[in-house]
Structure 1
């Protein structure tokens, strides 16, 4: 009987020590998936994806166990210019008719101190899956005015367009795209 009680206690402690699960707050517009790429080397072209969804797990006591999964609706690309958006959604770039979503699934979260970390995982974009690393910084976390609990992070990564099968020649200054991710999650 004593062994059973110890096992039950251990099981209870194990379940309470699990990371919290957060739903990315897309309804309240508190999360963003943005990109930028140089235009001819003279300026930056910015854009975003208006529709995406995801969730992440996070435990401040054990951040290395954190994980995230995101799905982005690539048809929702918005660079504030209708003709350019049509071209970016087309076969030369994202080919959204064939690949209407992009996904990211993390494989590791490596804390670096001071709320910073390196998030690694697999990005699938334009039908191509490749490993990427995202520099992450914790923004903060705490109770919200509606009785919930929120946690926020920002992240940045870059990759070459050709790595994801995008071979359209934009010139030598425009071969790399940067992704800027701001994610606020509501604990479930």
Structure 2
């Protein structure tokens, strides 16, 4: 009986709500971005982004806690605005893109809304062949009709991950053990 109840609860959680709409992340129109920053020796910030990614999400403004999202990232698309550094970041010292060709985030739950309308998005991030749970602090930016007859919704979020948690142990110094991720997601309703 207990197993049956857990199975039913899991199915209820992962099911898409009847009124939820499905969205595709608008990366073709450059209305979405995955950015990162990490301290450089503790003296400044090195910033960059991933140029190639896609994803989809389900969202219902009346029941946002039932929303889900999946984002697929091409780690070889890392761009720190410096070709030699990007080559090193793609190497086995860091992302090892020849071996680990994809990175992925899959949501598992959304917390109760915070004051001001934000929420915590819980999920599993797979990077460098390692999957770990992460929590992204998310704010809804807005939603509505677009000028082309479609409907869009947008979110912004940020999180911080430890390189060693994902098997990246290249020593960048004590100030550079974590990477901050900043996400901007705009979806087009399907």
Question: What TM-score, normalized to structure 1?
Answer: 0.90
Deviation at 1:150, TM superposition (A): 0.3
> Aligned equivalents of 1:31 and 1:39: distance in 2?
26
Deviation at 1:18, TM superposition (A): 2.2
Counterpart of 1:141 in structure 2 is: 143
> Aligned equivalents of 2:17 and 2:171: distance in 1?
52
- 2:138 maps to 1:156: no
> Aligned equivalents of 2:32 and 2:23: distance in 1?
12
Counterpart of 1:46 in structure 2 is: 47
Counterpart of 1:10 in structure 2 is: none
Counterpart of 2:188 in structure 1 is: 186
Deviation at 1:71, TM superposition (A): 0.3
Question: What TM-score, normalized to structure 2?
Answer: 0.89
Alignment gaps of 5+ in structure 2: 1-15
> Aligned equivalents of 1:172 and 1:16: distance in 2?
45
Counterpart of 2:25 in structure 1 is: 24
Q: Is the 8 A contact 2:50 2:73 kept in 1?
A: yes
Deviation at 1:109, TM superposition (A): 1.0
> Aligned equivalents of 2:140 and 2:34: distance in 1?
16
Q: Quick check: which has more Rg, 1 or 2?
A: 1
Paired residues, what number? 174
> Aligned equivalents of 1:17 and 1:140: distance in 2?
22
Q: Deviations over 1:117-155 (max 9, x none)?
A: 000000000000000000000000000000000000000
> Aligned equivalents of 1:115 and 1:28: distance in 2?
27
Deviation at 1:100, TM superposition (A): 1.3
> Aligned equivalents of 1:140 and 1:128: distance in 2?
33
> Aligned equivalents of 1:113 and 1:75: distance in 2?
38
Counterpart of 1:4 in structure 2 is: none
Alignment gaps of 5+ in structure 1: 1-14
Q: Is the 8 A contact 2:73 2:104 kept in 1?
A: yes
Counterpart of 1:87 in structure 2 is: 88
Which 4+ runs in 1 deviate beyond 4 A? none
